[in-house]
Structure 1
């Protein structure tokens, strides 16, 4: 079944075709927001979570609950100003909102 699962351990997105994207919170290395010009009647804001190995998960804003957003905002050095900029964007853009300072070192839970 397609959808997004957000736990204390990982974020997983199952696509309609059965493919699965997943990243563990402790392996998170980068967070980006991608915006598109497709709104307002379609998802147009996506959180891209990239793990230390390069694998990641895309979370549509419509699937991002307050706990997910709070977890992102708690990341050291998270750029809330870029999030605000992304949320008002109506164009196809990318915003880097967080990057681990030492990509070789896993984040503690």
Structure 2
């Protein structure tokens, strides 16, 4: 969540999701441009972050949110109301220790 003492800032609001990276650059995706939601799991837990929400938008936009970040609860509230969000895939992703990518939602 931090690098060099600097905390990663992630904002989840009605416009979308924005993440300021440690180097000062930003990732972002608006809800209108959101095309796919994935969960990336890596076998680095339990001491290192091992689950990330991957939000993919149009034209290469997107944002990665670590599941352990305080913004993850607000993000989940927004994601679970997307029409067709697959909660079964979400549960599977959150309970695996495999190196995998789970797709929970895609715009049709």
Q: Give TM-score scaled by structure 1 length.
A: 0.86
Quote how far apart the aligned CAs of 1:81 are.
Answer: 0.4
Quote how far apart the aligned CAs of 1:8 are.
Answer: 1.1
Partner of 2:38: 32
1:95 equivalent in alignment to 2:102: yes
Q: Deviations over 1:54-87 (max 9, x none)?
A: 2100010012443321210111111100110001
Partner of 1:105: none
Matched residues, number? 101
Moved more, 32-41 or 6-15: 6-15
Moved over 4 A (4+): none
Partner of 2:11: 5
1:81 equivalent in alignment to 2:71: no
Q: Secondary structure at the match of 1:23?
A: strand
1:67 equivalent in alignment to 2:74: yes
Partner of 2:3: none
Contact kept? 2:41, 2:98, Cα under 8 Å: yes
Q: Secondary structure at the match of 2:22?
A: coil
Structure 1: runs of 5 or more not aligned: 102-109
Structure 2: runs of 5 or more not aligned: 1-5
How far apart, CA to CA, are the structure 2 residues paired with 1:35 and 1:60?
10
Greater share of strand: 2
